[in-house]
């Protein structure tokens, strides 16, 4: 019953005028998703973006950029290689491939090091690790090319571990509905005006894509008590909206520990109570992004029992 919630992620930005990524169409993106061993469950669209909900996480496609996030034992790197075959490297303005350390790395099809050996054949890049090897950490490989990000191009990832409390108990009860999960998460309140697409997995698990103009948010929940993991990621301006959003999720899901990974923003965490930061890393990438990785512990993990293998 083990399911790896920890995600792999890729973001690609192409040169304006080189290709409109949305025109490649669902069939193309369906093949890309299949290369990662995932499938498309559904799609929502607006003027700016196509948001695909996947069997393992999400794919967002804008005219000039894609963001793909996959969890489980998916092979995101193979999907990325398939995408790269269709583009001249000169047309890539920005490329960043990331992996959160997994709960059980030995179950993965490849290590981060193996992934970057494949990517390096196509793209000159640099790889980094943020955070400590003996605890939560984050790997990142990015194209070594100068790039000037737009001011509104910020990303925040809130990664929550060991959730507990009534909402966690609800999420761990089999056969919930997406409507009820969405209501419990208070999505309409905290993501006002967003078009929503969500899915309740059987027997557990929940995914949500949300888009409003060129803004996105996505939530993925693995509630199983031994290895619970909930991610919330968005390009909303978190210096404005993050404090309330992060406080909401941390209060609701009561994670034993949580990480915040930010690109070109530094949201206030003043409203998030009772936490102790145990790791912090900053990194300025050559491609113009300032990354901050922070790992917080909220309490003693009393829910971790000796586990019979």
**DSSP assignment of 233-266:** EE-S-HHHHHHHHHHHHHHHH--SEEEEEEES--
For its own copies, what does the binding mask look like between residues 176 and 215, x meaning CB under 8 A? ----------------------------------------
56 a catalytic residue: no
Query: Pick from 1, 56, 24, 102: which is nearest to 218 by CA?
Result: 56
- Is the Cβ–Cβ distance between 103 and 97 less than 8 Å? no
Query: Quick one: 65 exposed, middle or buried, by C-beta within 10 A (0-12, 13-18, 19+)?
Result: middle
220 a catalytic residue: yes
**Binding range to its own copies, per CB under 8 A, among 52-60, 188-196, 246-254, 280-288:** 280-288
Q: Which of 57, 156, 231, 257 is catalytic?
A: 57
Q: Which helix (H) or strand (E) holds 291?
A: strand 290-297
- Position 94 contacts its own copies (CB under 8 A): no
203: cis peptide before it, omega within 30°? yes
Per CB under 8 A, contacts with its own copies among 214-273 are 226-227, 256-257
- Position 306 contacts its own copies (CB under 8 A): yes
Among 271, 281, 288, 290, interactor with its own copies by CB under 8 A: 281
- Position 136 contacts its own copies (CB under 8 A): yes
42 a catalytic residue: no
How crowded is residue 144: how many other Cβ atoms within 10 Å of its Cβ? Answer: 13
Partners of 210 in beta bridges? 196, 217
- Is the Cβ–Cβ distance between 163 and 204 less than 8 Å? no
Q: Which of 136, 137, 162, 220 is catalytic?
A: 220
How many residues contact its own copies, by CB under 8 A? 47
Query: Pick from 217, 213, 148: which is nearest to 182 by CA?
Result: 217
4 a catalytic residue: yes
Among 130, 171, 210, 252, interactor with its own copies by CB under 8 A: 130
Among 83, 116, 250, 253, interactor with its own copies by CB under 8 A: 116
Report, in angstroms and rounded to the nearest whole number, the Rg of the chain calculated over CA atoms: 18
In the complex, what is the shortest distance from the CB of residue 161 to its own copies, in angstroms, rounded to a whole number? Answer: 6
Angle, in degrees to the nearest 10, between helices 76-85 and 25-35: 140
Using CB under 8 A as the criterion, which residues of the chain lie in contact with its own copies when the complex forms?
101, 103-106, 111, 113, 116, 126-136, 139, 161-162, 226-227, 256-257, 276-283, 291, 293, 297, 299-302, 304-309
> Annotated catalytic sites, by residue?
4, 7, 57, 71, 207, 220
């Amino acid at each position: 019953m083990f399911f790896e919630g920890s995600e792999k992620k890729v973001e690609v930005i192409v040169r304006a005028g080189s290709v409109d990524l949305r025109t490649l169409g669902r069939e193309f993106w369906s093949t890309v998703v299949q290369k990662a061993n995932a499938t498309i469950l559904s799609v929502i669209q607006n003027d700016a973006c196509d948001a695909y909900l996947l069997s393992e996480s999400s794919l967002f496609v804008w005219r000039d950029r894609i963001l793909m996030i996959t969890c489980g034992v998916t092979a995101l790197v193979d999907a990325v290689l398939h995408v790269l075959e269709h583009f001249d490297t000169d047309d890539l303005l920005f490329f960043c491939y990331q992996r959160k350390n997994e709960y059980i790395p030995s179950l993965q099809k490849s290590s981060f090091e193996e992934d970057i050996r494949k990517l390096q054949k196509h793209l000159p890049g640099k790889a980094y690790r943020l955070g400590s090897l003996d605890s939560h950490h984050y790997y990142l490989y990015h194209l070594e090319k100068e790039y000037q990000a737009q001011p509104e191009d910020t990303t925040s990832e809130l990664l929550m571990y060991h959730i507990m409390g009534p909402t966690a108990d609800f999420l761990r009860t089999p056969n919930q509905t997406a409507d009820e999960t969405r209501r419990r998460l208070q999505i309409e309140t905290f993501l006002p005006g967003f078009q929503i697409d969500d899915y309740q997995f059987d027997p557990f698990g929940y995914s949500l894509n949300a888009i409003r103009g060129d803004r996105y948010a996505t939530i993925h929940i693995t509630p199983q008590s031994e290895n619970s993991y909930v991610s919330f990621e968005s390009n909303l301006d978190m210096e404005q909206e993050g404090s309330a959003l992060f406080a909401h999720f941390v209060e609701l899901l009561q994670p034993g520990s949580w990480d915040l990974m930010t690109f070109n923003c530094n949201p206030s965490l003043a409203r998030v109570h009772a936490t102790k930061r145990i790791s912090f890393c900053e990194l300025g990438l050559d491609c113009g992004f300032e990354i901050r990785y922070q790992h917080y512990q909220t309490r003693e993990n009393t829910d971790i029992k000796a586990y019979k293998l």
